[in-house]
Amino acid sequence: MSDASMNAPEGALLTGPGAPQKPKSATIAQVMQDHGVHPLRQMREIFAMRSGRQKLGSNEYYSLRLYDPAIPMAQKREFLGQGGTNVLNAMMNPPIAVPTRSFVGNKLLYTQLLEQLGIPTARTQAMASGHLSAGKVPVLRNADALIRFLRDEAVYPIFGKPYFGSLSEGSVRIDARDGDVLRLANGDARNLADFTAEVMTRYPGGFLLQSALDPQADMARIAGLAIGCVRVLTANDGSGPKPAYAIWKLPAPTAMSDNFWQDGSLLADLDLECGAVKACLRGTGPGAQMLAEHPVSNEPLVGTTLPFWSETLEIAVEAHAVFPEFGVCGFDIAVTNEGPKVLECNDNPAHMLYQLAARRGVQNPDLAPIWARVVARQKNQVERMKTAMKKRR
């Protein structure tokens, strides 16, 4: 059986976003034209924000639209670049106090633990790996074993992703198999042998094949059939984990996952109290759009309340409480017709998503005190551990 898309040069697995690009001269000129901000002022602000705690790059300055003169400089100072985010998260999840970071980053072991504890998650059907073991989970050692699994044992639809990884790189959703052709959720098709060769070549260290989840019916009506996770950021200052903020990642119409770097994806800022959409963003920089309705379904976005909201927050808090040593956790939660399910935990959560969706810096007056309490708790914990280590010597 032939299919035109099977001859496409791209592989089936999603390629990452690549390195950030420096701002183009056309962007600088457009900001001057649209906002009256002279290029020299743009440069001065960029230089002012690239040092200190912000560590905000020039590409981030434009992505976050911090050139807007309507934003007071004091508020611009509340934004962090990825470098600043890394520093903040490292203080809230210091390695010496949080030795379980590598375990939580292991997508197989983490979800298997949640399953054993009765916390809903996606079921792993098999793992492709040349050397890893996975207990009761079948391990496919080579391309032939992966082909046999996809032909004879797999229960479709399947979502595949690397054993370790981020930004949905390497992910794929397979809706069905038609002979030796795999039908992908984005409408493409791939020959079975080509697909397995790609998996084993790109990810010899481990590739998970999980039962794909479908979004809750109301969310699917708004945003389509691909899962758009709710990112719930929880913080623990020593008094127990609590939600700090939440956003909804809406997939692009032809995407198989919900990462915002894919063209056409949306980000919605959510009211933490009730789960209602406060604002929704498509794109970044001068081309960004704030949307009240979904651009494809035309369903209302702003004011819409997500289903299973209290359950979504509860499952994030419960999952964080399994590892209370973490100061912060960013949970990706799929909301299905059966309720919320935890898909992943991020120990270095990308606060950039919140900053884009809410158009507020992550060091704003509502959140900064939370981070300060978490950092103080972790500093105390580190000092106690260092003291205990000295006593044992």
Question: Exposed (0-12), middle (13-18) or buried (19+): which is 187, by Cβ within 10 Å?
Answer: exposed
On whether the CB atoms of residues 199 and 160 are closer than 8 A, the answer is yes
- pTM for this one? 0.89
Q: Among the CATH numbers 3.90.1300.10, 3.30.70.1380, 3.50.50.60, 3.30.470.20, which is that of 91-106+216-370?
A: 3.30.470.20
Question: CA–CA separation, 343 vs 170, rounded Å?
Answer: 16
Which tokens hold the place of 142?
A: 């080579």
Question: CA–CA separation, 46 vs 37, rounded Å?
Answer: 13
**Over pLDDT 90: what percentage of the chain?**
70
Question: CA–CA separation, 210 vs 125, rounded Å?
Answer: 5
Which tokens hold the place of 341?
A: 């399910």
Q: How many CB atoms lie within 10 A of CB 344?
A: 21
Q: What is the pLDDT of residue 1?
A: 29
End-to-end CA distance of the chain: 69
* Of 107 and 83, more confident: 83
Residue closest to 377 by CA, chosen among 325, 316, 318, 323? 325
Residue closest to 378 by CA, chosen among 92, 87, 104? 92
pLDDT at 382 over 70: yes
Q: How many CB atoms lie within 10 A of CB 8?
A: 12
Phi, then psi, of 76 in degrees rounded to 5: -60, -30
Residue closest to 171 by CA, chosen among 146, 199, 205? 199
Helix then strand then coil, in percent of the chain rounded to 5, is 35, 20, 45
Q: Could you report the per-residue pLDDT of 33-88, keeping only the tens digit for each?
A: 999 999 999 999 999 999 889 999 999 999 999 999 999 999 999 999 999 999 99
Which tokens hold the place of 21?
A: 């690009």
Question: CA–CA separation, 374 vs 239, rounded Å?
Answer: 10
Nearest-10 Cα torsion for 191, 192, 194, 198: 130
Q: How many CB atoms lie within 10 A of CB 72?
A: 9
**Over pLDDT 70: what percentage of the chain?**
90
Over residues 340-345, the mean pLDDT reads: 95
Which tokens hold the place of 86?
A: 């890394």
| Long-range CB pairs of 147-152, under 8 A, 24+ apart, other chains included | 147/192, 147/193, 147/196, 149/209, 150/174, 150/177, 150/182, 150/192, 150/195, 150/196, 151/177, 151/192
Q: Which helix (H) or strand (E) holds 392?
A: helix 368-392
Check residue 21 and report its DSSP letter. P
Question: pLDDT band at 17, cuts 50/70/90?
Answer: low
Average pLDDT, the chain: 89
On whether the CB atoms of residues 98 and 328 are closer than 8 A, the answer is no
pLDDT at 93 over 90: yes
Question: CA–CA separation, 112 vs 118, rounded Å?
Answer: 10
Q: Could you report the per-residue pLDDT of 129-173, keeping only the tens digit for each?
A: 988 777 788 999 999 999 999 999 999 999 998 887 655 678 889
Domain boundaries defined on the chain:
25-77, 91-106+216-370, 123-211
Nearest-10 Cα torsion for 291, 296, 302, 304: -170
Phi, then psi, of 333 in degrees rounded to 5: -120, 125
Q: Could you report the per-residue pLDDT of 224-278, keeping only the tens digit for each?
A: 888 899 999 999 999 999 999 999 999 876 655 556 556 778 999 999 999 999 9
Question: pLDDT band at 10, cuts 50/70/90?
Answer: low
| Matching residue, tokens 């020593």 | 238
